[in-house]
Amino acid sequence: MKKFFYEVGSTTLFFTDSVRLMFAKPSRMPDMIRHMKFIGNDSVIIICLTGVFTGLAMSYQIYIGFNLVNATNLVGPTVALGIFKELAPVLTGLIVAARAGGAMAAQIGTMRVSEQIDALEVMGVNPIQYLSSPRVLAAVLTLPLLCGIFDIVAIQASELLCVNLLDLDKAIFWNKIELWIRPRDVMEGLIKAAVFGLTFATVCCKTGFYTKGGAKGVGDTTNKGVVYSMVLIIVLNLLVSNLIRLYFSLVESF
Amino acid sequence: MEMAVEIQDLKKSFDGGKSFVLNGIDLVIPADKITMLIGFSGTGKSVLMKHILGLMKPTSGNIKVFGKNLSQRSEQELIALRCQMGVLFQHAALFDDMSVIENVLFPLSEHRRDLSKARRLEIARHKLKVTGMDREHDQKLPAEISGGMQKRVGLARALALDPKILLYDEPTTGLDPILTEMVDNLILDTHKLHKGATSLVISHDLMAAFRLGDYIVMLDKGKVLLRGTKEEFLNTDNEFIRKFIDKGIRRS
């Protein structure tokens, strides 16, 4: 229990430092753009691939169910809602946490055990500002973009299956989506993606930063960073969904 | 004699005072001299270095660098102070995603933005040249050059901001005798070239201490056993130091 509270406390402190130093001088903008390329650009193919197959599989399963009750016209909006609000942000978060988060923890962990972080400190460079802040900011900005790509690709794949193979009407497919999906549904997913980006980048940078030991230590912290990130993404998904819904309902009530 | 570093009754404990890694260190490090800090592994040499750099806070005691107490310096002042110190790490600690020239340019890009890019590049190339690195290696990554070259690049990076104090953290540990001699000569040449710079070399190589050091400090169990010249060490009556010297001479 003591260890749990210690972990939560130290991660919170690391997170506040990373955010506080994001816009401190000297500017780390070039580093941030480099990290955005690594987190974003290099993840596009795997996100597209996941989006296509998620869209196809989900559409087919929902079609089978809705066909039993003669409601196949609602396959489009049901798939869209599931993807925009839940599957796109969660799967994007999990995939990028495993791919980029693991790499972040391993890289920073290696820098720790090979004294590169000590070298930064003795050169008068704040290692959190240099290593963590640009990565966290890059992840926060990039994850919603990747989530948007996932949304587009998955819904296009769904249309492809529903219209060309399951003989649903294209106009009805899109009309029902327009009718049932509100901009806030898409926004909810994008906001969640940004929160997941913040979560995995902070957790992976922090675990890497406090690596102890040699190669085994780096392996352990990489594993720890990825596992903690994934669990947190799944747990936070429920929490953030409810917070966003609460926020929107409060806004609408005023 | 001007003192670069003055340490008074320095104590450091990592377990709330149950045991002390540094247990009342009193030490002065004179400016413009090479001081060798020797002792067995685990005697607190590297911890002492981190205290001098202001990276660790003492449990009790005072450290003055250039006459001013470290505890009285703000974080900004500590950063400014660290810019006046250069460190050569045991394994050079080069940034492995940067080329040789980028590694040397790094401290200049961080702290000398007032200089033009061309001027910074010129300084970096000069520092690499004085440590014996050819320009043909400029674009190579640290993994693509030998261990000896990595030390040279690490030293060039440490010298980039023209530090007043140079710290060497066990620079020859794990190197073969030829590379060890090369690094020792590099330390001597660098000291001669940088007039007024203070060098503190952490080592357990006794022969290197005798060869390089103007002063030798021996640590044991977190305390200074002896601080003196080579002659004072050779003539000491301290049983422990005599054993250390005998073993060191026999091994070499």
Q: In chain B, what are the domain boundaries? A: 1-84+164-176+198-252
pLDDT in tens, A175-193: 999 999 999 999 999 999 9
Only one residue has tokens 């020859």, namely B172
Of the pLDDT bands very low, low, confident and very high (cuts 50, 70, 90), residue B180 is confident
Q: What's the CA gap between A60 and A55, in Å, rounded? A: 9
Residue B71 DSSP SS3: helix
Residue A112 pLDDT > 80: yes
**A224 in a structural domain:** yes
Residue B1 DSSP SS3: coil
Side-chain half-sphere of A139: how many Cα atoms within 13 Å?
34
Of the pLDDT bands very low, low, confident and very high (cuts 50, 70, 90), residue B109 is very high
| Cβ within 8 Å, pair B93-A114 | yes
DSSP A148: H
**A17 in a structural domain:** no
Q: Where are the alpha helices (DSSP H) in A97-132?
A: 102-113, 116-122, 127
Q: What's the CA gap between B135 and B139, in Å, rounded? A: 8
The least confident of A66-75, A199-208, A240-249, B40-49 is B40-49
Phi-psi map region of B132: left, alpha, beta (phi>0 left; psi -120 to 50 alpha) = left
**A93 in a structural domain:** yes
Q: What's the CA gap between B40 and B242, in Å, rounded? A: 14
Residue A93: C-alpha distances to residues A132, A147, A148, B193 (Å): 18, 8, 12, 54
**A3 in a structural domain:** no
pLDDT of residue B181: 83
Residue A195: Cβ-neighbour burial (10 angstroms; 0-12, 13-18, 19+):
buried
Structure tokens at A227: 């596992």
What is the average pLDDT value for chain B, to the nearest integer?
Answer: 87
CB nearest to B91's CB, from A114, A122, A125: A114
The amino acid sitting at B157 is: R
Q: What's the CA gap between A158 and A164, in Å, rounded? A: 10
Work out the percent of chain B whose per-residue pLDDT is above 90: 36
Paired residues of B12 in beta bridges = B22
Domain count, chain A: 1
Q: What's the CA gap between B9 and B47, in Å, rounded? A: 15
Residue A144 pLDDT > 60: yes
pLDDT of residue A209: 95
Q: What's the CA gap between A165 and A10, in Å, rounded? A: 53
pLDDT of residue B202: 92
- For residue A243, what is the enclosing H or E element? helix A215-253
Gap from B94 CA to chain A (nearest CA, Å): 6
Cβ B132 vs Cβ B183: under 8 Å = no
pLDDT of residue B2: 83
- Which whole number is the average pLDDT over B172-180? 78
Q: For B75, which residue in chain A has the nearest alpha carbon?
A: A124
Paired residues of A171 in beta bridges = none
Residues in CB range of B136: below 8 A, 6 or more apart: none
Only one residue has tokens 């149950």, namely B18
pLDDT in tens, A179-228: 999 999 999 999 999 999 999 999 999 999 999 888 899 999 999 999 99
Residue B25 pLDDT > 60: yes
What is the average pLDDT value for chain A, to the nearest integer?
Answer: 93
Of the pLDDT bands very low, low, confident and very high (cuts 50, 70, 90), residue B251 is low
**Cβ of residue A25 closer than 8 Å to a chain B Cβ:** no
Gap from B245 CA to chain A (nearest CA, Å): 30
Gap from A115 CA to chain B (nearest CA, Å): 5
Residue A38 pLDDT > 70: yes
**Cβ of residue A114 closer than 8 Å to a chain B Cβ:** yes
How many CB pairs below 8 A link A and B? 44
The least confident of A77-86, A87-96, B31-40 is B31-40
- Which whole number is the average pLDDT over B37-65? 88
Gap from A138 CA to chain B (nearest CA, Å): 19
Residue A19: Cβ-neighbour burial (10 angstroms; 0-12, 13-18, 19+):
middle
Q: For A121, which residue in chain B has the nearest alpha carbon?
A: B55
- Which whole number is the average pLDDT over A1-11? 86
Determine the Cα angle at B10 with ends B191 and B213, to 5°. Answer: 25
Q: Above 0.90 for ipTM, yes or no?
A: no
pLDDT of residue B252: 55
- Which whole number is the average pLDDT over A30-47? 95
CB nearest to B89's CB, from A110, A111, A115: A115
User: What is the per-residue DSSP string for A174-211?
Assistant: HHHHHHH--HHHHHHHHHHHHHHHHHHHHHHHHHHHT-
CB nearest to B93's CB, from A26, A115, A124: A115
The CATH class of the B1-84+164-176+198-252 domain is alpha beta
pLDDT of residue A88: 96
**Cβ of residue B83 closer than 8 Å to a chain A Cβ:** yes
**Cβ of residue B54 closer than 8 Å to a chain A Cβ:** no
Residue B227 pLDDT > 80: yes
**A9 in a structural domain:** no
Q: For B112, which residue in chain A has the nearest alpha carbon?
A: A26
pLDDT of residue B6: 92
Cβ A70 vs Cβ A54: under 8 Å = no
Cβ B184 vs Cβ B152: under 8 Å = no
Structure tokens at B146: 């030998």
Q: Chain A residues with CB inside 8 Å of B55's CB?
A: 118, 121-122
pLDDT in tens, B66-78: 888 888 888 888 8
Of the pLDDT bands very low, low, confident and very high (cuts 50, 70, 90), residue A54 is very high
CB nearest to A122's CB, from B85, B91, B96: B85
Q: What's the CA gap between A178 and B109, in Å, rounded? A: 52
**Cβ of residue A115 closer than 8 Å to a chain B Cβ:** yes
- Which whole number is the average pLDDT over B169-193? 82
Residue B39: C-alpha distances to residues A76, B23, B123, B241, B248 (Å): 74, 15, 36, 10, 11
Residue B163 pLDDT > 60: yes
Residue B213: C-alpha distances to residues A14, B4, B222 (Å): 42, 16, 21
pLDDT of residue B250: 60
| Cβ within 8 Å, pair B55-A124 | no
Cβ A77 vs Cβ A181: under 8 Å = yes
- Which whole number is the average pLDDT over A61-71? 92
Range of the domain at A157: 22-253
Residue A3 pLDDT > 80: yes
Q: Chain A residues with CB inside 8 Å of B53's CB?
A: 121-122
Work out the percent of chain A whose per-residue pLDDT is above 90: 80
Residue B220 DSSP SS3: strand
pLDDT of residue B248: 66
Q: Chain B residues with CB inside 8 Å of A115's CB?
A: 89-91, 93
